[in-house]
A and B are shown apart, each in its own frame.
Chain A
Amino acid sequence: MSANGLLIIGSSQAGVQLAVSLRALGHAGGITLLGDENHRPYQRPALSKEFLQGIITKESLIYRTQAYWDEHRIKVVKNERVVRIDKHSDGSGVAHARSGEVFGFDRLALALGARARRLQVEGADLPGVLYLRNADDALELKARVPVVHDVVVIGGGFIGIEAATSLRKLGKNVTLVEAGPRLVARAVGPETSEYLAKHHAENGIEIVVGAQVTRIVANGDAVGGVEVNGRVVPADLVLIGVGVVPNTELAQSIGLACENGIRVDRYAVASDGMTIAVGDVANLPNPVPGAPEGDRVRFESVNNAIEQAKVAAYAITGRREEYAGIPWFWSNQGDLKLQIAGLSTGHDRTLVRRDEEKGRFSVLYYRGDRIIAADCVNTPLDFMAVKAALAQRASIPYDEATDPSIPLKSITRSETA
């Protein structure tokens, strides 16, 4: 590679991991890690939780010290937004930033992430209507917290619930509205949704499912409430968390195949055979061992960003390491710790393990006799046991798992045994 080296556009979880993994593998070529925010590369997950609640500071979100970047010759550039890319057929090219800066590359990696989906409703642009995707969003939200009382959170996914529980913890009146029939329907089963909803309602969050948001109403110049199912819920702060849209525009502009993200193969390589795409923006072959042939997924998770970036680092250094892994997710919601192992898509049986006294709850998902996933609330032992069983392709017999006092680890059986 010439002096230009690798240009990574996007300096969040996947971009950072790609740079770090490349150096760990001994890759000697130049690496530029380009971010469009005016912050050093930082971790996002805590923005809706520990950071919002004031438990941790901005400084502890920073991935690496400047000394680390210097020592590993990774050029970190912030506040540069690439608006155009000229790419040659050999994979090299030039990226043009809005500022007029240009960044040449021998090879390109796109870790462009996703952006908050905007709610198309009257009043959504009023002051006091916020989203929560990046550090600036979190800083703005945090700055408003001391002066607001009534919060309406629109969207009952992870971000919405995490923010709602954080704001509730900070003493706000919180109403959480979800358009669908239940919370986090995209990620967990109905039993888990119900458990979460009950718990959060008991902690004082008013939850409305099947909520039609018809408009956001003003109070003077700022937000005053949200019209939900025909009645106005007063709000001096509205937080919207209705999913994300992958940032594929740059990839499309250079002719890469995109379909709910940038299409990549098992080595994180896009359709031109050279450009890398990793993290939330990538649409990849389902990496779960035994997944149906041709099945594709796009993850919005730390675990995927890390694992896929590692595979991409191998690909760049010329090693073909397939991405195979057990996806896992977590969501801390007030005093609930939800951990999900595997993907429950295609399950045909569920098993609920519940210990009311200890506040433990988990749902195991089976396809036939095979366990494929688990939602675990305040039950890390179940989570860790299922994650380990999936990784080893071991089985956890359904009939033996029904008693929640029996540790799953003790009944996990390797298939070959």
Chain B
Amino acid sequence: MPTITYTDAEGESRSVEANVGDSVMETAVRNGVPGIVAECGGSLSCATCHVFVDPSDFASLPPMEEMEDEMLYGAAVDREEFSRLCCQIKVTDGMDLQVTTPKTQV
């Protein structure tokens, strides 16, 4: 099964088995991973599912669309080079993704 590993700002990690087709946000929320708020439930309206993708994984993801790019500018913790809103990252077959969550989402 695809696996997503979420590391919080303090460095604590949790790996979750994910379903193909779900988003990385949904996977976190449904399993109660702290550090992802996702107020809007994945409709790209709130920028509270901000993650820093592991640099080695970043290029393998489909590029972000303009709306996500703009929303990221409003994230509670400033965006960085490998920032994404994880509601827009779909879990794919064989995915083994590492992301770090920011200190706060709101």
Contact = CB atoms under 8 A, between A and B. Distances in A.
Q: Which of B26, B41, B42 has the most CB of A within 10 A?
A: B41
B27 to A, nearest CB: 10
B37 to A, nearest CB: 8
Contacts of B40: 45, 302, 330
A248 interface: no
Nearest to B27: A65
A409 B43 CA distance: 23
Given A20-B32, A24-B34, A68-B30, A337 B73 contact: no
B12 interface: no
Given A65-B31, A68-B31, A68-B32, A383 B43 contact: no
B71 A380 contact: yes
A387 interface: yes
Contacts of A45: 40-41, 43
Contacts of B44: 337
Nearest to B45: A330
B16 to A, nearest CB: 10
Contacts of A65: 30-31
Given A60-B22, A60-B26, A63-B30, A381 B41 contact: no
Contacts, number: 62
Interface string B80-101: 0000000000000000000000
A72 interface: yes
Interface in B40-76: 40-47, 67, 70-71, 73-74
A102 interface: no
Interface in A368-390: 378, 380-381, 383-385, 387-388
* A contact residues, range: 20 to 34
Contacts of A387: 74
Interface residue SS majority, chain A: helix
Contact of B70 (A72, A303, A380): A380
B29 interface: yes
B32 A339 contact: no
A330 B30 contact: no
Contacts of A332: 43, 45
A204 B41 CA distance: 28
Contacts of A337: 44-45, 67
A206 interface: no
Nearest to B71: A380
Contacts of B41: 43, 45-46, 302
Interface in A319-369: 328, 330, 332, 337, 339
Contacts of B67: 337, 378, 380
Interface of A: 20, 24, 43, 45-46, 49-50, 60, 62-65, 67-68, 71-72, 302-303, 306, 328, 330, 332, 337, 339, 378, 380-381, 383-385, 387-388, 409
9 contacts: A64-B30, A330-B40, A332-B45, A380-B74, A381-B73, A381-B74, A383-B74, A384-B71, A409-B73
9 A-B pairs with least C-beta separation: A384-B74, A330-B45, A380-B70, A68-B32, A380-B71, A43-B41, A381-B70, A65-B30, A64-B30
Given A45-B43, A65-B31, A330-B46, 4 more contacts: A64-B29, A64-B30, A68-B31, A378-B67
